[in-house]
A and B are shown apart, each in its own frame.
Chain A
């Protein structure tokens, strides 16, 4: 099997993930999109690792997983905090940073 297929799959997954982040208002769904993008990146790493026959990409994928795990904790905590504050998890509601 040609490992380049993994990279194509990763590109598709990344596109789906970014579309979820950009198009959905629900924070949880957008968050899932972020996770999807991260995993797409992981898949790309592993795929390239396979193509080049080195383990660098695989090592990097482990790092990304660790960071993603930490990011999930922080991200969910933020979403919970926002929900508590305004009884909504719509991404369009908090706009205090509007200039």
Chain B
């Protein structure tokens, strides 16, 4: 099975093509083809995983050569796949959560006339995402990288008859483009430094090039990761990306695609190991984003946007861990996996709520849904406890490890990163509890035409599975450091450094902060009445409601100068470049106009001119000889 890994990518891709080309004929059964393709990928991944478990930990890295892709002069790129514990972790996460969300979407999109197209795009996404994580070179990874970007764009703008949704899709595409430029530049730098862009060449050569080169590569890779993973300062697209159907938000904008940046950083570990400054920047970006997302999440009233802010913040945690070096890589991926479960579960829960509430997303219009939607309430509750990090739910094992790792080191760094992670945990507890209580507890604030009801089984079963994962996955994987040992062949063995504060103190402080945050949220949004419209607030809250004015900053710093620059360029182009070309054209036309008069059309005048010409020629011929 390990040699047939390409089938994992080929099956969803084939299904995508079938669904797209079959047209309306496939409307009746197309969604089941999509589900089948995703399930088949999961089954194959599972078989490969079991095979890999049978191998010793040193033999688990398996390279599959597919074909010689580009061969020109000095540049030779082979298309190949790299199956190792890291990519296998991602493959399992993508196919498993992906399949559950496919099943969920069968129910969620039931009344959408374009359901077949939706499943085609979902399958395209699965194929591209698998290519991204399985590629054995940055160039092939880039193909998957762009593929998921395309799928994300198509799915955010799935209901593109609404203008703001189409704009949201464009925004995601443009912001991602900035990150993609980073990856392209990184590949250029790699080719200059190592003469190749496949992982093996780059990682084996990483120790022999200068730190400056590695830092440049690391920073451009970080730019790419920031774009894809919605990290500061390229995070503005994620909130708007919630315009897509909720299964898309769960799969692409919570569980898998947005974590591709973390994958990129962890995969490029040898580069970052040689460039401590770039690594530090990764950690700083992570720390800034985790607080940024948490602050924005505290003020959002739109349930999906609050969850998106939370995703941003949680990926900030992963980035922070990835920036801590070998000690953090495994925890970054661990948190990524558990987050994939509980956040996807909560998004599906939010989708279920919207399904029962006629697509209402304003949490101020929810309340008291726990009686109307028991399954959603319980499954969402599991996700909520997991993200809070209450033991023994999964989030406790992954997030707590990141907070501990953030406190390891010397100088100012452990204090800054550790405190940021710690404060982030408290803020997370507050905004997630706020979301949970506003939605499921308190008094019903529904509009008159809303009659909330539980979703059908095809939607609740995936939610239940993900809730079970949210509850137990962390415990299962953390027991005996199972997950860390599993990833060790890729991330390398990390010495367990001692945190600057002792571990029990960190754990207890975290739990206290979480309880304080959750308790304050209960006091404010569970017990007290929630006003139907957002009350007037302090400047800080207004800033948070407006994404800390990120859009305004972008507009003032990039968009306006950019617009002026392009206007100037357009003017210069019209006046100078076009002016020169048009001038030559116009001049030729005028000369022609003047010369036109010579053509009288009179045969005899032509004859006279010919004779005159002949005489001139003859004159010079005769006289010239002398």
Show the binding face of A for B, using Cβ within 8 Å: 18, 21-23, 25, 30, 91-92, 94-99
Contacts and interface: CB of A to CB of B under 8 A. Distances in A.
B603 A99 contact: no
Contacts of B600: 95, 98-99
Nearest to A95: B601
5 contacts: A21-B607, A22-B611, A30-B604, A99-B595, A99-B601
B599 interface: yes
Contacts of A18: 611
Given A21-B604, A92-B603, 10 more contacts: A30-B604, A91-B603, A92-B604, A94-B601, A95-B600, A97-B601, A98-B600, A99-B595, A99-B598, A99-B600
Interface in B584-626: 595-604, 607-608, 611
A51 to B, nearest CB: 16
Contacts of B611: 18, 22
A23 B611 CA distance: 13
A92 B607 CA distance: 12
Contacts of A30: 604
Contacts of A21: 604, 607
Contacts of B598: 99
Nearest to A98: B601
Nearest to A94: B603
A50 B73 CA distance: 73
A98 B601 CA distance: 4
Q: Please indicate which of the listed interface residues B595, B600, B604 has the most CB atoms of chain A within 10 Å of its own CB.
A: B604
A92 B602 contact: yes
A91 to B, nearest CB: 5
A97 B599 contact: yes
Q: 8 tightest CB-CB pairs across the interface, nearest first?
A: A98-B601, A99-B599, A95-B601, A99-B596, A97-B601, A91-B603, A21-B607, A22-B608
B410 to A, nearest CB: 89
Contacts of B608: 22
B121 to A, nearest CB: 61
Contacts of A23: 604
Nearest to A23: B604
Contacts of A98: 599-602
Contacts of A92: 602-604
Q: Please indicate which of the listed interface residues A91, A94, A99 has the most CB atoms of chain B within 10 Å of its own CB.
A: A99
B607 A22 contact: yes
Contacts of A95: 600-602
A89 B603 CA distance: 12
A95 B599 CA distance: 10
A22 B604 contact: yes
Interface of B: 595-604, 607-608, 611
A98 to B, nearest CB: 3
A94 B245 CA distance: 76
A99 B604 contact: no
Nearest to B614: A18
A25 B597 CA distance: 22
Contacts of A91: 603-604
Contacts of B597: 99
Contacts of B595: 99
A21 B602 CA distance: 13
A18 B598 CA distance: 21
B523 to A, nearest CB: 93
A96 B599 CA distance: 10
Nearest to A21: B607
Nearest to A97: B601
Contacts of B596: 99
Nearest to B606: A97
A34 to B, nearest CB: 9
B611 to A, nearest CB: 6
A31 B611 CA distance: 15
A97 B607 CA distance: 14
A23 B603 CA distance: 11
A25 B52 CA distance: 102
A85 to B, nearest CB: 15
Nearest to A25: B604
A91 B602 CA distance: 8
B604 to A, nearest CB: 6
Contacts of A22: 604, 607-608, 611
A27 B375 CA distance: 106
Nearest to B599: A99
A44 B212 CA distance: 89
A98 B596 CA distance: 8
A32 to B, nearest CB: 14
A25 B602 CA distance: 11
A92 B604 CA distance: 8
A18 B599 CA distance: 21
A44 to B, nearest CB: 12
A16 to B, nearest CB: 13
Contacts of B607: 21-22
B428 to A, nearest CB: 83
A95 B603 CA distance: 8
A66 B92 CA distance: 93
A90 to B, nearest CB: 10
A30 B597 CA distance: 25
A94 B598 CA distance: 16
Q: Please indicate which of the listed interface residues B595, B598, B603, B608 has the most CB atoms of chain A within 10 Å of its own CB.
A: B603
B593 to A, nearest CB: 9
Contacts of B599: 97-99
Nearest to B608: A22
A21 B603 CA distance: 10
A91 B611 CA distance: 17
A99 to B, nearest CB: 3
A18 B600 CA distance: 20
Nearest to B600: A98
A11 to B, nearest CB: 12
B187 to A, nearest CB: 59
Nearest to B593: A99
A95 B607 CA distance: 14
Nearest to A92: B602
Contacts of B602: 92, 95, 98
A25 B596 CA distance: 24
B540 to A, nearest CB: 79
A36 B604 CA distance: 17
B348 to A, nearest CB: 78
Nearest to B595: A99
